[in-house]
Amino acid sequence: MPLYSISSYGALSTSGISSPSFHYSAGGKAVCVSGIVDVPVVASAVNVLYKGPDNNYELTEFITDFLRVGSNTLVRYTGSQTSISDTFSVYSKLCVPADKDKVRSLTSIQFLTHGGTTDNSYWDFADGYSYVDTAALQGYATFSYDRLGTGKSEHPDPYQVVQAPLQVELAHALIRKLKGGHLGNLVFNKIIGVGHSLGSALTQGISSSHPEDFNAVVLTGHSGFTGGAGTGFAAAAQQIANTFVDRPEFKHLPNGYFTLGPGHQTLQFAFFYYPHFDPKIFLQGYNTRQTNAIGETLTLGNIYMPATAFKKPVLILNGQQDYFYCQGNCLATGDVTAQAMAIFFPNAPSNQSQAITLPNFGHNLNLHLGRQKVFEKMLDFISGLGIKP
């Protein structure tokens, strides 16, 4: 829902955002300003030695090779350490409650990072499927963005530039902008890191590298269990993004960007749990699927480390039927979600942290029929910590 051409909404302005536009969230409960944010980043990187794929056959073999027993793919395709220093254009969306009076008193914001094959719309997907709306109803501001190499953000070299450590430093730079009042002319004293899937891994990476960034962390679709990851990754039947004729926005991308293959099963198998989703929402998810980068895939393990220095509250929430992180049953051999808390956040305060597993959800919890229960658990956790909007 567009708004009339304006330069501010209450205390929210277009400051720090180029090519800005004001619009309502999916359900109209929040007003958002979106556009491009230029983000200077300095980050460590590795020299990726893999130069393919030249075609989809080679991409399939790359993935197969990556998943083979005893594979040494990471050793063969990652070389010496290097560094990146550059400025990147990141599509960003800052949303505040539609009630202008609430905007004046905002002091905290939720920093939302989406997962692989999606973009920032995962958090504001449709009317009734919007975490942004639900948070706004409770008075909270949210900030979401398209990861580098995804959606409307810049798509630089998918091998040497779009790597996981750089994504962590880019997010850290955005957080510094929010704390310094450089986006929307609003100063946020408290930041809650909220991630899903790959976004959870990045949020965890921020908690490890920059433990001062967040006052609390909420992670969904996240664990240390890897039994289902290989099958889930293979079932996605990845295809070079520029080979999809029905997605003209992918046409000029390098071959190092890939996305879910043709066929709805490539999304359903590891991301959804039938019959607990609306087929219309599912199809919207498939038709708007986004890209991943080979460099990011090869360097994800570099940030998948315990955040031992993070000593603030953490919520980890999984759908019980998550295939990627639980192989379809998070409670089959103990509580995978609770185990993830112990592995990744060993020093989080136990009396304030929670590990929750909800039945009848696959990996993409926000797009299932019971998503409001997920949103309530997340917001109850945040408000229960005394973190006010």
Mean pLDDT, to the nearest integer, of 197-210?
97
Confidence of residue 168 (pLDDT cuts 50, 70, 90): very high
Q: How far apart are CA 93 and CA 25, in angstroms?
A: 10
Share of the chain above pLDDT 70, in %: 98
> For the segment 63-75, what is each residue's pLDDT rounded down to a tens digit?
999 999 999 999 9
* Span 337-378, pLDDT tens digits: 999 999 999 999 999 999 999 999 999 999 999 999 999 999
Among 86, 104, 176, which Cα is nearest to 141's? 104
H/E run at residue 178: helix 164-179
Within-domain flag for 136? yes
- To the nearest 10 degrees (0 to 180), the angle between helices 198-209 and 164-179 is 70
Tell me the two tokens of residue 322.
């998550």
Q: Which of 103, 106, 93 is nearest to 179 (CA)?
A: 106
Q: What is the pLDDT of residue 176?
A: 98
Cα distance between residue 8 and residue 22, in whole Å: 8
Phi, psi dihedral angles at 295 (to 5 degrees): -60, -40
User: Average pLDDT of the chain?
Assistant: 96
Structure-token match 């269990």, residue found: 225
Lowest mean pLDDT among 1-5, 31-35, 190-194, 233-237: 1-5
Q: At 178, phi and psi to the nearest 5?
A: -65, -40
Q: How confident is residue 3, by pLDDT bands cut at 50, 70 and 90?
A: low
pLDDT, residue 181, reads 96
- Give exposure, 210-243, as e/b (b: 16+ Cβ within 10 Å): bbebbbbbbbbbbbebebbbbbbbbbbbbbbbbb
The answer to whether position 204 is within a domain reads: yes
Residue 178 pLDDT grade (very low, low, confident, very high; cuts 50, 70, 90): very high
CA–CA gap between residue 59 and residue 286 (Å, rounded) = 20
Examine the pLDDT at 5 and tell me if it is beyond 70.
no
* Selection from 115, 127, 107 nearest residue 178 by Cα: 107
Domain-located, residue 140: yes
pLDDT tens track for 214-263: 999 999 999 999 899 999 999 999 999 999 999 999 999 999 999 999 99
Rounded Cα distance between 185 and 187, Å, is 7
- In the numeric block, which tokens belong to residue 101? 């009076």
- Each residue of 81-127: pLDDT tens digit? 999 999 999 999 999 999 888 888 899 999 999 999 999 999 999 99
> Residue 1: pLDDT above 70?
no
Does residue 184 form part of some domain? yes
Residues pairing with 227 in the sheet: none
Two structure tokens written together for 295: 């460099």
| Any domain includes 2 | no
Residue 200 falls inside a structural domain:
yes
Q: Determine the pLDDT at residue 9.
A: 81
Structural domain contains residue 270: yes
Domain span including residue 15: 8-384
Q: Tell me if 389 is assigned to some domain.
A: no
CATH number of the domain at 34, please: 3.40.50.1820
Confidence (pLDDT) at 10: 78
> Is the CB of residue 256 less than 8 Å from the CB of residue 159?
yes
Contact between 246 and 223 (Cβ < 8 Å): no
Q: How far apart are CA 315 and CA 378, in angstroms?
A: 8
Beta carbons of 270 and 324 less than 8 angstroms apart? yes
* Percent of the chain predicted with pLDDT > 90: 93
Between 305 and 152, residue with greater pLDDT: 152
Which residues are 130's β-sheet partners? Answer: 124
User: Within the chain, how many helices (H) and strands (E) appear?
Assistant: 13, 14
Q: Can you tell me the distance from the alpha carbon of 275 to that of 43, in angstroms, rounded to the nearest whole number?
A: 43
In the 8-state DSSP scheme, what is residue 17? -
pTM over 0.95: yes
Into how many domains does the chain fold? 1
Looking at residue 314, its pLDDT comes to 98
Mean pLDDT of 281-305: 95
Report the pLDDT averaged over residues 317-327.
Answer: 97
Sort 179 into a burial class: Cβ within 10 Å, 0-12 / 13-18 / 19+.
middle
Q: How far is CA 242 from the centre of its chain?
A: 22
Q: What is the pLDDT of residue 99?
A: 87
Q: Tell me the mean pLDDT in the region 49-78.
A: 94
